[in-house]
Amino acid sequence: MVGGYVYVGMALWSRPAKPLPRGTVLAEARAGASGEVARLFEDIDRYCAEAGIRYYETGMVDYCIRGKHNWKTDANCENRCRYQTIKYYGLSGDFGDAMRGLDSALLTAGWTGRGSGLEWILTDYCGPHYGPDKPKPTNFPRQYLVQNMPGASYTRGNFRLTIRAQEADSTGREFVLRFEDVMAMPHDLSHRNERVVATDSLVPVILASHRYMLVIGVMADDYFVN
C-alpha cells in the first residue's frame, strides 16, 4: 500500500506459436489446395478462351500465419495456411460485356458474389461513370479508368476469388494499379513460398496489345490449421 492505494501488478505474458508439423501432413494438405485451386480455374479459363480473353502469366503464393498468443490476443490456432494462384489476362473487347459474361460463368460454376461481384461493379461504378460521355466522380475529375473501380470478389466454400482490372492511362502517368490486395500477406509468417510475376514488365506488354488487363486470384483459405 502506498499513500492509501493498493497497487496490483499485472504480469504480461506471451508465448511463441508452435511450429508447423513435420512429415507429409502439411505437404498433402498443400497439394490438395493447389489441385483444387487449379480445378476451380478451369471454368474461368474456359470462359476466357471462349470470350477471346488471352492468358499471359501465372503467379503463386503459399503462406502460413503464426497464431499470436499474448496478454492482448490469444489465437485459437498455432498456424493458419493459405494458398493462392494469380493469373494475368488481356482483353480487347467490350469491358462491360466481357465482365457480365464472366460474372454469369462464375455464378454458374457455384461462386457467390452478391453485393461484391462484377455485376455490382458494373451497376454502381461502371454504368454511372465509365466512358467519355459519363459524369466523373469528384475524386476522379479527369479520368475514370477501370483500375479506379473497386475490385470484385466472390466466395465458394473455403475459397475466395478476387478480380482487378487495368487499362492504359492516357495521361502518361505510371500504372496506378498494384496488386498487394490480390497477393496480400501478413508479416508474421511461419512459412512463405511464392512465384512472383514481374508486373512492371508484364503490364506494358499486355496493354500494348489489349485495351484491358485482368488479374484474377483464387485462394484456398485456411487449407491447413493446427
C-alpha cell at 79: 498456424
Residue 82: band (very low, low, confident or very high) from pLDDT cuts 50, 70, 90? very high
Output the average pLDDT for the chain: 85
Whole-prediction pTM value?
Answer: 0.86
User: Residue 21 pLDDT > 90, yes or no?
Assistant: no
pLDDT in tens, 175-192: 545 454 455 667 788 788
Give how many domains the chain has, as a whole number: 1
Give the position of cell 498468443: 69
4 domain residue, yes or no: no
DSSP per-residue letters across 179-200: -TTTS---S-EEEEEEE---HH
More confident residue, 13 or 36: 36
User: Residue 10 pLDDT > 60, yes or no?
Assistant: no
Q: Cα–Cα distance between 145 and 132 in angstroms, integer?
A: 10
**Residues 223, 83: contact at Cβ < 8 Å?**
yes
220 domain residue, yes or no: yes
User: Residue 219 pLDDT > 90, yes or no?
Assistant: yes
Domain of residue 210 covers 14-225
1 domain residue, yes or no: no
More confident residue, 38 or 5: 38
122 domain residue, yes or no: yes
Contacting residues for 99 by C-beta, under 8 A, at least 6 apart: 118, 121, 122, 126, 165
Which pLDDT score, from 0 to 100, does residue 72 have? 59
The stretch 145-173 carries a mean pLDDT of 88
More confident residue, 100 or 175: 100
